[in-house]
Amino acid sequence: MDYLQDLKTIVKINSFTKNKAGVDKVGVVFDKWLEELDFTKHIYIREDIGNHRYYTSKDNPNGKKLLLLGHLDTVFAPEKFETYKEDDGWVYGAGVCDMKGGNIVALEALREIKKQGIEIQNIDVLFVSDEETGSDDSKYLTAELAKKYDYCFVYEASGKNLEVVTARKGVGTFFIDIEGKASHAGNHYSDGCDANLELSYKLQELVKLTDLPKGTTLNVGKIDGGIGANTISPYAKMTFELRYKDTVERDRVLKEIDKIVNTSYVDGTTSTLSGGIQRDVMQTSQASLNLIKNIQNITGQTLPYEERGGVSDANIVSSNGVVTLDGFGPYGDGDHTIYERASKSSFISRIELSRKLFEYFIKNKDFN
């Protein structure tokens, strides 16, 4: 399991999204490893976040194309969680399952292909640097590159029973700024226009858009407003998140949000909406189910699958028409906490799964 030493190397490098130097240091390590496998690197320079890294193999114009997708960043600031340890069954550290461990699975499977003397063709790798903060920069690059590919495997963590992921909710983050009019709450109460009161009406109307049976949730996670108890509030602001399972629900809720924003429940107040959809929905498709069936035929083993409420960059690729499966990384838990861990046995299973699929794909130029 030499690959666990490689995992240790990158886990002990802090790659908090805002730690550009650390994220880039991890990227340089992957540059070396992938160049050893004859990949050509393409670096997308960024000033405030880590550079995005795209690695291309030999192109065969007669075959389909597969993208392997991961991210280099993790969630803990420097000196908060930079240890790495192992026991008989688990490895522990920031990113061991989310998703430095997944990147290692993809890398090791490619190494196994190289050891077999098979030339890697039409399999490319994209590692972005800002996934943990919403991919606000990289989503445009990912969407553009996705147009080149027929398939995408995303190396986020697998499910507990080594499920891959066929669907993820779409997510959007929005802000409403409300402008009212200040006045003295005692002497001139009626002269004011209460932005806080307007916010309270809007909040209740927004939350009503939640439809749990359809998988739609709207959460007002933060509110702010006003000056003090003796002043009618001249301003208020709320931050809310929308999650949805299909485009019909997305369109329904977005239309209703606009109505709520443009309605003044308190005379004299005005409201402005900003923000938007960060990652559109990834829906289970017949094409993704067919791919799972083909994978099971190729490997001779059952490949369970599941849908998740959380999002990943799989949403971006899938919403651009690419047949996408997520969850090809190791199984783990405790991600985004100091208890993050990944199962050693799942590394073995996932590396072997990817190796078989890469070998078949290269030899047959498709998964059919």
Residue 136 and residue 202 in one domain: no
| Neighbour tally for 297: CB within 10 Å | 11
Mean local confidence (pLDDT), 125-147: 97
Please give the structure tokens belonging to residue 26: 């991890």
Distance CA 115, CA 29 (A): 20
Please give the structure tokens belonging to residue 190: 């009626």
Amino acid 150: pLDDT: 98
| CB-CB contact of 358 with 298 (8 Å) | no
Q: What is the DSSP letter of 326?
A: B
| CB-CB contact of 94 with 22 (8 Å) | no
Residues 229-259 pLDDT 10s:
999 999 999 999 999 999 999 999 999 999 9
Distance CA 365, CA 368 (A): 9
Residue 353 and residue 242 in one domain: no
Residues 93-104 pLDDT 10s:
999 999 999 999
Residue 140 and residue 8 in one domain: yes
Residue 119 and residue 22 in one domain: yes
Please give the structure tokens belonging to residue 78: 């420097």
Amino acid 303: pLDDT: 97
Amino acid 95: pLDDT: 98
Choose the final residue of a domain: 279, 294, 323: 279
Q: What pLDDT band is residue 121 in, cutting at 50, 70 and 90?
A: very high
Distance CA 328, CA 110 (A): 14
Residue 147 and residue 123 in one domain: yes
Residue 32 and residue 155 in one domain: yes
Residue 268 and residue 311 in one domain: no
Distance CA 179, CA 267 (A): 11
Distance CA 366, CA 238 (A): 48
Residue 119 and residue 34 in one domain: yes
Residue 226 and residue 289 in one domain: no
Residue in 179, 174, 176 with CA at minimum distance from that of residue 270: 179
Q: pTM for the whole thing?
A: 0.91
Residue 198 and residue 341 in one domain: no
Residue spans of alpha helices (H) in 155-285: 195-207, 247-262
Q: What pLDDT band is residue 43 in, cutting at 50, 70 and 90?
A: very high
Q: What is the DSSP letter of 362?
A: H
Distance CA 366, CA 363 (A): 8
Residue in 99, 145, 19 with CA at minimum distance from that of residue 312: 99
Q: What are the backbone dihedrals phi and psi of residue 319, each rounded to the nearest 5 degrees, phi first?
A: -70, -10
Q: Is the pLDDT of residue 271 over 80?
A: yes
Residue in 12, 33, 16, 51 with CA at minimum distance from that of residue 103: 33
| CB-CB contact of 129 with 50 (8 Å) | yes
Residue 47 and residue 111 in one domain: yes
Give the number of domains in the chain.
2
- Domain region containing 97: 2-168+282-364
Choose the final residue of a domain: 250, 279, 308: 279
Q: Which amino acid is at 39?
A: F
Q: Is the pLDDT of residue 1 over 80?
A: no
Would you call 65 helix, strand, or coil by DSSP?
Answer: coil
Helix (H) or strand (E) holding 292: helix 286-299
Choose the final residue of a domain: 260, 279, 298: 279
Mean pLDDT score of the chain, rounded to an integer? 97
Residue 141 and residue 53 in one domain: yes
- Look up the CATH number of the domain holding residue 9: 3.40.630.10
SS3 content of the chain, % helix, strand, coil (to 5): 35, 30, 35
- Look up the CATH number of the domain holding residue 192: 3.30.70.360
Mean local confidence (pLDDT), 302-329: 96
| CB-CB contact of 285 with 293 (8 Å) | no
